[in-house]
Structures are given as structure tokens and as C-alpha cells.
Structure 1
């Protein structure tokens, strides 16, 4: 985990109760607009993600927060990360071991990642060839509205040298 901040999308916030704020969120399953309380814990988690360049597991993020004296339970870290993922504010991948890992990305549109298996370094990539292939394969089989996930794991240049 490194410490260079990633740019993030800004969200307008309205004042909320007792040190929290309410931010608009996507409609729920019932179609009604909802709000997300921006608590001290949510600010700590989102602030940490802004400082970290690489994908991180919930447990790694929990340890990072506690090393910096943020009092957030592991269950709360998981809940906040899931909420951020549901809202499209973080990308979620599965590590080689199958663990969910999270990162705020510089690119807000559809993209893919190259991820180092050893150090976790991630590079965001666009892959127009993959997009065209996905659409063609779906159409050949009569599928519409295809979606996909492509993540490539390997060793980054620094880890390959060691």
C-alpha cells in the first residue's frame, strides 16, 4: 500500500445530524431515493482509500486505519466498503486467493486492471478490443446488454526484477 492520493469524484453533501452528513445515493430496490449517512467511520474509510494507490482488502484497510488510531470496527469497514461498491465509488476485484479487494480508481468509466500478485500494484487499462469481442460474442449467441469483468494478474516490473 502506498501513500499517493488518487483523485476522487466529489459528492455534494447536505448537513445531517450530530457530526454526520447525508449524501444522495442511487434509488433503492423500491425505486425511492435514499441517503447515506456520512459518519466519522465512513470519512475515515473513504479518506484512507484516497491515500492508498493499490487495491486493499477490508482486513488490510482495517489494520491501516487502526495503525493511525481510527476507531472503526472490522464489520463497519466491510459494511462501508460494500456500500461504496454498491454506489460505484470503488472498484472491487477478487485476489488470486478469492478475497475481495477494493480501490478508488482514477477512471470513473468502464475499465480493467493489471494487478501485481506480489505487491498489489494496479494499473488501470482500457481494452477496446475486449469491448468489441464481448459485444460480438454476445450478439453471435443472441445475448443483449452484455457486461464483463477482465482483470489481469502478473508481476509488475519492480517485482519481476527481484
Structure 2
């Protein structure tokens, strides 16, 4: 396969991964996204899905969290640092306000820490999944 064809295929696959992530209803695993792409007729390798999702996360176009089942991804708007309430069953996510910065700083000070960054994800079940 020529470099030009490889490059084109790579671009098509990148776009397919990005579009599928944008269409996902919440956080989704790379494996689940890979299955969805292939079921819909977009043959993309699992390694390519992982590579593209990680590139999207590094560039700020995707959120990534570690959930009970492993790493999950979600397309995000570039609105800065935020936190999530995530359904463990379906992956639905909503942005939430974190505890205030004073609480974070006070907790760190109490234990002799200097805060360099923080991550807050809250996991549970959404109303639809809880009623099932």
C-alpha cells in the first residue's frame, strides 16, 4: 500500500473514530466504540481506535476517566477543567461542580500536601438504570 493511500485511510479512520465518539451518548470504552464502528461498516482496528482516542484526549477534544471497567472516553467541549457524575451501567455523564477550592486547599494543608492538580469523578447509576 502506498504512503498516500495509507495516509488517506488513516485520515478516514481518524474521522470515523472522532465522529463515533461525538455520537456516543456518554463515556464509552475503546472496545465498545471499536465494536460499534465495525458493526456500522467502518472497519477500524482496535489499536487505531485506542491511538485516536488517546490523541483526542491529549489534544483536549475528549475527556478520559478511569472507570470500574477501565479507561473510558467522551467527546467534550473545550470549556476547561471540569468534573463528572458518571453512570456505571450506561456511561451517561453530566458535568458537575467540584467541592470548592478552599476545601481542597484546606484538606491538603491539613495533611501537609501542596496541591498540583486534582481529579474528581463520581460514579453511580443514572435514574433510568436505577429503575431497571
Please indicate the TM-score interval, normalised by the length of the shorter structure: 0.7 to 0.9
Q: Separation in 2 of the partners of 1:19 and 1:108?
A: 34
Q: Separation in 2 of the partners of 1:58 and 1:46?
A: 12
Identify the match of residue 71 of structure 2 among 91, 100, 115.
100
Corresponding residue for residue 132 of structure 1: 102
Q: Separation in 2 of the partners of 1:102 and 1:153?
A: 15
CA contact (8 A) 1:59 1:74 kept: yes
Q: Separation in 2 of the partners of 1:155 and 1:161?
A: 9
Deviation at 1:71, TM superposition (A): 1.9
Question: 1:85-96 alignment to 2 at 5 Å?
Answer: 85-96=57-68
Q: Separation in 2 of the partners of 1:149 and 1:59?
A: 24
Q: Separation in 1 of the partners of 2:88 and 2:79?
A: 24
Corresponding residue for residue 70 of structure 1: 42
Q: Secondary structure at the match of 1:39?
A: helix
Corresponding residue for residue 32 of structure 1: none
Could you report, residue by residue, the CA deviation over 1:74-118 in whole angstroms, capped at 9, with x for unpaired residues?
011111111111112111111113x10000124621111111112
Corresponding residue for residue 117 of structure 2: 147
TM-score, normalising length from structure 1?
0.69
- With a CA cutoff of 8 Å and minimum separation of 6, indicate the structure with the bigger relative contact order: 2
Comparing both structures, which one devotes a greater share of its residues to helix? 2
Q: CA RMSD in A?
A: 2.3
TM-score, normalising length from structure 2?
0.83
Q: How many residues align?
A: 127
Deviation at 1:142, TM superposition (A): 5.4
Give 5+ residue unaligned stretches, structure 2: none
CA contact (8 A) 1:107 1:124 kept: no
